[in-house]
Amino acid sequence: MGSLPAPAWEHAVVTGGAGFVGSHLCSALLAAGTAVTCVDDFSTGLAGNVAELGDHPGFTLQEADVSQPFTVRRRPDLVLHLASPASPADYLRLPLHTLDAGSLGTRNALDLAHHSGARFLLASTSEVYGDPREHPQNERYWGHVNPVGPRSVYDEAKRFGEALTTAHGSTRGTDTCVVRLFNTYGPRMRGYDGRAVPTFIRQALAGEPLTVTGDGLQTRSLCYVDDTVAGILAAAAHGMSGPVNIGNPSELTMLDLARWIIELTGSASRIAFVERPTDDPALRCPDITLARDKLQWEPLVAAEEGLRRTIAWFRAHPDG
């Protein structure tokens, strides 16, 4: 389980391909023999994330804002829509851009897939479940989201994107799929993007206090980026419409995560408790029964190994 499917596509378009997950997805597709056009406006993505792919004969980097109609030079047979600010620091800084990416951007990417006869996959999020009242969360749960809270620009953009993807498939016959990605971590995360893993690692390596919000007892389920990418490609190759959860069902508190990172880095940092953000979910854990049964996928990288790899990357990229 967790291995990449056999090459099935000649050319894939990855929107948001210079982002954290998107760049790893571009690398995996190229390694599987698929040509890739990476479309990114660099509002949150980094050209450096795909710099090593620049010399690959199958790779094309195209700067474009997907909320505006866009075209690509070669007809794709797969469109993977990841373009969106995804970290709290980004979507709170870029609220309208986030909503545009989830609405107009999704529509434009769907239209590209439809006119090309391509398979379309929307990278949605566990945030569609909001602050859940069911635990763990399975795909039948409708969620508990504040539609006007500070996180709503991201949560509701993704929820709308799911509705739009579903409608496009049912009314226009576009071959669509929705995956709901749970918390993903690994190399190429930005140290100041506001997510727990890079924030804690950056602080620990600098000897700064690790800022745990609230009492730290809120939970997350962390999936290493290689496993997330394998899940995305498994869903794309399967032909299912979804939604399907892609995440690691191993749950831990943020306080335990902070302590673990201090231990793994050998840091002398202490823990400092700070105010918890509004609408911050208390619980987050995926039910991945559907992914296991239909995709024969489950995460393979243990949390300690994934954290060690991520810490090593941050040591080698102190400006990350």
Could you say which DSSP state residue 127 is in?
A: G
Q: Is residue 148 part of a domain?
A: yes
Q: Is residue 255 part of a domain?
A: no
List the chain pLDDT tens, one digit each, 320 residues. 444 454 479 999 999 999 999 999 999 999 999 999 999 999 999 999 999 999 999 999 999 999 999 999 999 999 999 999 999 899 999 999 999 999 999 999 999 999 999 999 999 999 999 999 999 999 999 999 999 999 999 999 999 999 999 999 999 999 999 999 999 999 999 999 889 999 999 999 999 999 999 999 999 999 999 999 999 999 999 999 989 999 999 999 999 999 999 999 999 999 999 999 988 889 999 999 999 999 999 999 999 999 999 999 999 998 76
Q: Is residue 153 part of a domain?
A: yes
Q: Is residue 19 part of a domain?
A: yes
Q: Specify whether the CB–CB gap between 83 and 39 falls below 8 A.
A: yes
Q: Specify whether the CB–CB gap between 203 and 272 falls below 8 A.
A: no
**Number of folded domains that form the chain:** 1
Q: Is residue 192 part of a domain?
A: no
Q: Specify whether the CB–CB gap between 182 and 248 falls below 8 A.
A: yes
Q: Specify whether the CB–CB gap between 242 and 139 falls below 8 A.
A: yes
Residue 49 and residue 30: Cα distance in Å, rounded? 14
For the entire predicted model, the pTM comes to 0.95
Residue spans of alpha helices (H) in the chain: 20-31, 88-93, 95-100, 106-116, 152-172, 196-205, 225-238, 254-265, 289-290, 303-316
Q: Is residue 235 part of a domain?
A: yes
Q: Is residue 1 part of a domain?
A: no
- 129 is annotated as an active-site residue: no
175: which 2 tokens?
């071959």
Q: Is residue 66 part of a domain?
A: yes
List the catalytic residue out of 129, 154, 185, 224.
Answer: 154
CATH of residue 171: 3.40.50.720
The residue range of the domain holding 170 is 11-185+223-249+283-301
